[in-house]
Amino acid sequence: MNCQLEGFYQTNFIYRSLHDIMSGLVPCNLSIILSGLMFAFLLVNLLLASTAIMTWGERRLLGRFQTRIGPNRWGPFGLLQPIADLVKLLFKENLIPTGADKFLFIIAPIIIMVPVIMVMGVIPLAPGVAMANLNIGILYILAITSVSSLGIFIAGWASNNRFAIFGAVRGVAVLISYEVPVVISLLGIVVVTGSMSLLDIVEAQALPFIMVQPMALLVFFIGSSAEMNRTPFDIAEAESEIIAGYHIEFSGIKFAVIQAAEYGAMIVTSIIIAVVFLGGWSGPLPLTLGWLWLIIKVLVVIFVFTWVRATFPRLRIDQIMAFCWKGLLPMSLINLFAVVIETFILKGSENSLSLIDLWIMCVINTILAVITVIVLNKLVSTKIDPAMSKSQSFSSRKLSLRN
């Protein structure tokens, strides 16, 4: 029976290799299904393994930033620390709080984890290495990632704990607010490329979009940090205020799934940044080594995420919301308007942008980004809280009386 693949799956190296193996063992229709399941299995396990390595790498990096060593007891350089942590969590007692909604409490970690895996399936890691080439890839990613807010709220509400509810409400408020500038920042990319396919976006980057739209990258990076509850936006898990936030009541394997989802989200976000703004697998290396070039870019983005976490203190909820609506939203709108005007003028009748056009946009948008950041910094400067100013004046009066 003829069992030839067509279209995207014919050019998908991994799927084609799995299909060639399975087609000699089982009937054609069954081999197509089994090849897809095996591809998904490999992708999920690759993400979980990367998450384990990510936990070790971030802890080591944070140790260096804070002038300490980090995990170094299990294995060489502490490489087996993620395995030790997983074993410890597996043997923890699986508790369900009194008065909690048992069903929702159990499925909440799954709802948080599933969007990370689903997004990973549509991201091209190299030419012909993706589960699906969606022509609406950007829209799919934005739609699926918004589901995580539902999982966070369910986790907080089902725990029957006031601190968990506080953390969940904070997390959902931040995620919904920062979703707006993140979406607008990606619209600028869609306007330039004329497509929402991630594969088309990579191929359109004759000049990496980090240079063409630096303001869009800045907005997307900061907005993604807030959506992932990364420092300095981690008010949903503020230990000094609400203990551990929405996952305070989770233990054992459920807590491990939530942590894997958080670190997996950072890995997936780093891959998206590398694909959309840094040229994906394009680089000075040969095309056959494009996967290595992509890994280097992803590691650089993860390093910057960790650098930000180790450097900046946690912001207050009012500062976070003000920064979104008064800072990132105007920046994203200015970038979108500028890109629309530039694209309309430069494309002309050819309906495509040349390398020279991209360089022109690079110069204009870089100058515009610098001016916008300076102006917004002047307009949206943080004011001293009246209570704090009164406290400082009271302290100064006491000091003057002592002197």
Average pLDDT, consecutive stretches of 10 residues, N- to C-terminus, the chain (403 residues): 58 70 74 78 86 89 87 85 87 82 88 89 79 84 87 86 85 88 93 89 90 93 89 74 75 86 91 92 71 88 92 85 90 93 80 85 92 85 49 51 53
Category of 279 on φ-ψ map: left (φ > 0), alpha (ψ -120 to 50) or beta: left
pLDDT of residue 394: 44
Which residues, in sequence order, are CB contacts of 202 under 8 Å at separation 6+?
A: 124, 275, 279, 280, 281, 282
pLDDT of residue 275: 92
Closest CA to 148 of 173, 114, 103, 122: 114
Tally of CB atoms within 10 A around 18:
20
Residue-range domain boundaries for the chain: 94-381
pLDDT of residue 285: 64
Tally of CB atoms within 10 A around 313:
6
Q: How far is CA 192 from the centre of its chain?
A: 22
DSSP string, 328-389: IHHHHHHHHHHHHHHHHHHHTTT-S--HHHHHHHHHHHHHHHHHHHHHHHHHTPPPPPHHHH
Tally of CB atoms within 10 A around 341:
11
Q: How far is CA 147 from the centre of its chain?
A: 14
Contact call for residues 134 and 178 (beta carbons, < 8 A): no
Spatial separation of the C-alpha atoms in residues 311 and 324, rounded to whole Å: 20
Residues in the chain: 403
pLDDT tens digit string along 136-190? 889 999 999 888 888 888 888 888 888 888 888 888 888 889 999 999 999 999 9
pLDDT tens digit string along 65-81? 888 888 888 888 888 88
225 is written with which tokens? 């940090």
Helix (H, G, I), strand (E, B) or coil at 11: helix
pLDDT of residue 8: 55
